[in-house]
Amino acid sequence: MSDLTGEVIDGRYQLTRVVASGGMATIYAALDLRLDRHVAVKIMHPHLAQDEKFVERFIREAKAAASLSHPNIVSVLDQGWNQGGVPCVYIVMELVEGSTLREFLHEQGALGVERTLQLLMPVASALAAAHALGIVHRDIKPENILVSKEGRIKIADFGLARGALLGSTMTAESSVILGSVSYLSPEQVQRGIADSRSDVYSLGIVMFELLTGEKPYKGEDPVQIAIRHVNDRVPAPSTLNSAIPQEIDALVLRATDIDPDKRPRDCSVFLDEMRSISEKIDPRRRQLSLELDLPPAPIKQPGKERARTRQRTPVIERVKSNRGEPKKEDEVKREKTAETKRKPSPRVKRNRSIAALLAVLIGAFLWYSFLGPGSRVVVPSLAGMSVKQATSELEDLGLAIQVATEEFSEEIPEGKIISSDPAGGGRIEPTGTVDVTVSKGKERYDVPNLAGLTRDAAQSLLTKRKLVMGETIEEFSSEIPKGYIIRTSPKVGERVKRDTTVDLVISAGIEQIALSDYKGKSGEQALNELSDAGFEVTTRYVFNEDLPVGAVISQSPAAGQADKGSTITLVVSKGSEFVFIPNLFGVAESKAVSTLKSLELKVSVKKVGTKKVKVVTNIAPKVGSKVKRGSTVTVTVG
């Protein structure tokens, strides 16, 4: 997302600088022009504003925080859509100047027990207020806990919160993906469900990390870390830091129990247990607030009486002195008065403590701003920029850029920056190098040509292409041998996502069809039926003394099963090879010749006499003789 510094959102909020940036939104410090106050404006990245689920989560964050009123929860002041300028979805919140608990932990390292309790009790107090209203945060982690410069602890990012006041929630799958895996409870990993005990689990993991400086489970693969949360018990903090007392070990182990029923039921119970341990460690804590804010101390009546006594004493001394009381007694009283003045009252002690604390805070602020992390360069938001644009922007600040990794992204176009380290709003040494992760675009793979391959060969090729073999269906084929692939779904060459399922159509070979026995039946009937069944038919005609003309003498192959589309050969009877010479005496020449030829006989005509109309007068061979078809018959006409 490009830097919107200087823009006026909704005609009211003027963005002054980038405070932080993440995968979902960028947070700007801004000036409320209407009320003349400084606020924080959280603006969703444009490419996510097109997704209804992300917008729903964004608005839910505003509703969740707005429904809660607690000093340790970042207040939400407004929410809307910018109509007059750059289109965007935004949330307006109170501006908390300081750092995240993650940054605090990186800077300080592992903390002592008292400091850990001092930091986490305000968090538990805020979550207890949310749980009382039926709201579950579901994403407690150091990145979502802010430490203001004044020492106030604030919980932010209720984007995954759910509860009766918030309406519908995101799906279990999306919540697991969006949540931080190192702090997810086992029930969130396994079933995607969460209640107040899930927040207790996450806060228990944060406590472990503050006490030891490490997360309970390490690894580069988020899936392995999630599985360990489900299957393994979180170790006792004392295994990494022997100075941790048994009571803290027991509290962390109970809060991070795999069984939700064995944890504190909500953060109010968790808070009570932390307070109890804190008071046991230091009984004086019972008289003070442990939530970092110093409460106004009440003025006690005995203190007032002593003050009035100090005011009255000099007057009494003067009166008694004027009455001529012994000087020795006056001196004694003056000494007592002086002694009373030298002993500071509780109020003076408290004021001195506050002054000392302010001095320490001011010194810490000056160190942070001029010598510590505050002296570092603030990294601008680079998400959504090209490497060239980011290089130009960083060079103006004296910083270098390095493409550390390239990743596929469904949302960020190819060549654009997904994230940076440090992220936007983070700090880095002058002349330092910012590592960026660049998008390789959407992860897509071509469906390979599997036609003609066996199932095993296809499996190997699909695995190499990051695809998954799906269902296999058999289909008859006269072209592809049995057991080999005919085609796929999706089709060859189609570009699909990683792990897309590819279904296979495998050849069952040539379809077998029942073949009837047509011997002795009509050749015409056999031809029609075989052709309709999908066979090719070849007919051969021969003489036969037993079967009439047109009857099937034999077929090949014989009756049984035959391949669909194969050729069937029929041998059909032409009738007898022999004929008998008919009686044609007195028949006209032309008719006699026609009759003999119809019997497949050759005719030789011998003419005698002078008649114009000639008729048969003799036949050779003689009438009634049996001769082969094709034989020659001599006819005499005259």
Q: Is 585 helix (H, G, I), strand (E, B) or coil?
A: coil
Q: 139, 157, 195, 257: which is the annotated catalytic residue?
A: 139
Cis peptide before 298 (omega within 30 of 0): no
Contact present, 81 and 88 (Cβ < 8 Å): yes
**Rama region for 404: left / alpha / beta (φ>0; ψ in -120 to 50; rest):** alpha
CA angle at 161 for the pair 156 and 162, rounded to the nearest 5°: 160
Residue 139 appears among annotated catalytic residues: yes
Structure token pair of residue 69? 């009123």
Which of 380-390 are b and which e, b meaning 16 or more Cβ less than 10 Å from the residue's Cβ? Answer: bbbbbbebeeb
d(CA 355, CA 52): 51
Q: How many CB atoms lie within 10 A of CB 499?
A: 10
439 contacts: CB under 8 Å, gap ≥ 6: 406, 407, 408, 409, 412, 413, 414, 415, 416, 417, 418
d(CA 467, CA 461): 9
> % helix / strand / coil in the chain, to the nearest 5?
35, 25, 40
d(CA 105, CA 208): 12
d(CA 244, CA 275): 16
Nearest residue to 291 (alpha-carbon basis) of 57, 119, 46, 488: 119
d(CA 619, CA 601): 13
Residue type, 95: L
Structure token pair of residue 340? 């009373």
Q: Containing H/E element for 342?
A: helix 327-342
Strand 433-439 and strand 417-421: the pairing is antiparallel
Strand 76-82 and strand 616-620: the pairing is unpaired
Structure token pair of residue 610? 């002078």
Q: What are the strands, taking DSSP E only, across 359-467?
A: 377-378, 400-407, 417-421, 427-428, 433-439, 444-446
Tell me the catalytic residues. 139
